[in-house]
Structure 1
Amino acid sequence: MKLRPVLMPPILDESKVARLAELAAEIDCGRQDQTQDQLAEFNREALANLTFIDFQGIYGGQDHDTWVRQVLAIPYEQRLTDITKPELIEMVRRVMEADSPEHAISYWMHMLELNTQDSQISDLIFWPGEYFGDGDNTRELSPEQVVEITLRRAGSRTQK
């Protein structure tokens, strides 16, 4: 299924991504007192308000390019009033298949959290035993089952 543009990770200016990734690497590997100018430049170019500590440990968890793409995608992540069940299922399918770049999977996860109002949907996808509290992480749910369960849970929360 093709997703509409608002459900796809934003198309970014590659030269801006490269420049911000360089700055992120300098800040991540630098000292706070020596990277204030880079931090100010990063925030100005990314329209962000990050602190030095936000950059610490990026290198150990992911590459700077991916991290920058995730930061730049934040303004595009939104709750939609007209999202459809098939669209939610397709995003879950894409996350589960994990054959897209990490920043795209992260975008879809955030969109799923916002649009199902379930901050634990990643547990349901990857660690269902944690989600259900029974420790059984061997079960494999289909994308359709994931969406049904999370929407049912969201419905029960709004009825209380």
Structure 2
Amino acid sequence: MDLRPELLPPPVEPARIATIAAAVERIAGLMEAGAPYEAELAALNEDTGTGVTEHDIHTYDNWGSAEAFAHLLVRPSYPRVPDITRDELIEIARRLMAGLGPQSDDPDADWYALLFDTNLTMPSASSLIFDPPGELGPGPSAERIVDTALSYRPIAL
């Protein structure tokens, strides 16, 4: 199934990714050396419109590379699509299940996980894909995962 344009990862110029990745690595190097980094971090946040913290810089490699982390910084933080359909969520789940998971080399993997999580009320819905609970059985289908996520109802306090 093809996804409509608002569900696809927004294109980002490779030069932009390289610039942001270099800034992340430069800030990490300054922090590691005990050198002043605050102005560089503020400039990064200004440039990307984000709120990257010292902790984020220390752990950027959890995303696989500075380039993968840079993709996160230059794309929308919460890609909410109010009229997303069940079929579209199933296609997104299929793409994630096909190997576009966390720590993959594909910079779009994190986009699809964020898109999935943002458009479902279930907290961390993508965890049903990456670490499915036993009650879903072995190797649950994308349909089963999406139906489980859609059936989630928050507890009223």
Query: Could you say whether these structures have the same fold, taking a TM-score greater than 0.5 normalized by the shorter chain as the test?
Result: yes
Aligned to 2:84: 83
Greater share of helix:
1
Aligned to 2:149: 150
SS of the equivalent of 2:122 reads: coil
1:73-152 correspondence runs (5 A): 73-75=75-77, 77-99=78-100, 101-129=105-133, 132=135, 139-152=138-151
Question: What is the CA RMSD across the aligned residues, in angstroms?
Answer: 2.5
| Residues 11 and 83 of structure 1, relative CA distance in 2, 3 Å threshold | same
For 1:114 and 1:23, the matched residues in 2 are separated by: 27
Q: TM-score, normalised by structure 2?
A: 0.83
| Residues 65 and 139 of structure 1, relative CA distance in 2, 3 Å threshold | same
For 1:13 and 1:47, the matched residues in 2 are separated by: 17
Aligned to 1:3: 3
| Residues 103 and 145 of structure 1, relative CA distance in 2, 3 Å threshold | same
Q: Deviations over 1:57-108 (max 9, x none)?
A: 2235521000010121234x33222111110000000000015854312111
Aligned residue pairs, count = 152
For 1:8 and 1:45, the matched residues in 2 are separated by: 23
For 1:107 and 1:45, the matched residues in 2 are separated by: 20
Moved more, 110-119 or 40-49: 40-49
State yes or no: 1:30 paired with 2:27. Answer: no
| Residues 101 and 89 of structure 1, relative CA distance in 2, 3 Å threshold | farther
| Residues 120 and 36 of structure 1, relative CA distance in 2, 3 Å threshold | closer
For 1:101 and 1:74, the matched residues in 2 are separated by: 20
Tell me if structure 1 keeps the 8 A contact 2:122–2:154: no
Identity %, equivalent residues:
24
Q: Among 47, 51, 54, which residue is 1:52 paired with?
A: 54
Shift of 1:13: 2.4
Tell me if structure 1 keeps the 8 A contact 2:80–2:115: yes
Q: TM-score, normalised by structure 1?
A: 0.81
